[in-house]
Amino acid sequence: MDSNEIDNIKIEKVQAECEYYDVMGGSHRHSVKVHDHGSVTLVDSMPRLAPVGQTADFAIVQAARVSYGAGTKKTSEDKGLIRYLLRHQHTSPFEMVEFKFHCVMPVFIARQWIRHRTANVNEYSARYSVMPDKFYHPSANDVRKQSTANKQGGEEPLDTKTAEEFLEYLDQVEASYKTYTNLLDKGLSRELGRIGLPVSVYTEWYWKIDLHNLFHFLKLRMDSHSQKEIRDYANTIFALIRNIVPVACEAFIDYSFESIKLTRLEIEAIRSGKPINTTNKREAQEWEEKRKQLGLPEPIDQQKSESA
């Protein structure tokens, strides 16, 4: 490396043409408690500064205008552009906005969360440090029974007796923490000692993600098919970013989160008014849910068989 070449590079420092403000209102962090020991903290945002009178949404418009030209400049037109971009899945401008969070959650939630590969993560090391004496311990009301409709899910509360039995079982499992620390005191390595701890033990990480990939995470994890515990975290993240990129968040709800995707067979069923042309029970059930959500009448054949 020729350091002279680098030393000779001239950097032009351009002053802003307008006044800027801190989108986090000058706060060091924005923090929300989740469950008994968990939390989501917004640590930083990119952009951190926005022109006075605008929100961090401006960074999406700024990036998009590279491809669409300076053109329109009014706030209402900026909003229209953001909504157009999201509707048409022109996603790269949304990658220009980033958020960094500090998240504290039980290991069983972290396992679901880490499947989202498009974030940058740095997790607490249980090889380097002792795991905290903190476990996710739901209240009796939050103990759900196995859903019969959804093999992966739970639904309304379980009977009190069984819920209490489950909570006693968690007490016993959590008591193993004492054995963990005793064995560490006797010289057991932390990297092995941790393997006896339950997945309800808390871990933490820094998690940085751009807005496009965050919307993908939120679409999946704010959805009712997601486990309630991770959904609580996803909803918290949404509440934290909504103040910073309100226009993009509104467009996300309108065009992504609360939109319905229709398959070719479903479109045919709407056009014909007949039952969906499939023998697959699950597909038929999914269509039935969408049909009700859309407020569409029952298919013709079904009406006939019911009146016969």
Ligand X SMILES: Cc1cc2nc3c(=O)[nH]c(=O)nc-3n(C[C@H](O)[C@H](O)[C@H](O)COP(=O)(O)OP(=O)(O)OC[C@H]3O[C@@H](n4cnc5c(N)ncnc54)[C@H](O)[C@@H]3O)c2cc1C
* SS3 per-residue string spanning 58-96: HHHHHHHHHHHCCCCCCHHHHHHHHHHHHHCCCCHHHHH
Work out which of 45, 203, 226, 236 binds ligand X, going by CB under 6 A. 226
Cα three-residue angle 190-193-197, rounded to 5 degrees: 120
Cβ at position 183, least distance to ligand X in Å: 32
Question: 24 or 40, CB closer to ligand X?
Answer: 40
Q: How many CA atoms lie within 13 A of 25 on its CB side?
A: 6
Q: Which of 212, 220, 202 is nearest to 241 (CA)?
A: 212
Q: Are 121 and 203 in contact (CB under 8 A)?
A: no
Which tokens is 201 given?
């033990």
Residues 152-181 that bind ligand X (CB under 6 A): 152
Work out which of 220, 253, 265, 270 binds ligand X, going by CB under 6 A. 220
Cβ at position 247, least distance to ligand X in Å: 23
Residues 109-138 that bind ligand X (CB under 6 A): 115-118
Residues 60-119 that bind ligand X (CB under 6 A): 115-118
Question: 113 or 135, CB closer to ligand X?
Answer: 113
Question: 49 or 199, CB closer to ligand X?
Answer: 199
Which tokens is 277 given?
């042309």
Name the active-site residue from 190, 221, 231, 282.
221
Question: 181 or 213, CB closer to ligand X?
Answer: 213
Q: Does the active-site annotation cover 48?
A: no
- ω into residue 93 within 30 of 0, thus cis? no
How many residues are present in the chain? Answer: 308
46 binds ligand X (CB under 6 A): no
Q: Which residues bind ligand X (CB under 6 A)?
A: 115-118, 152, 213, 216, 220, 225-226
Active site residues: 221
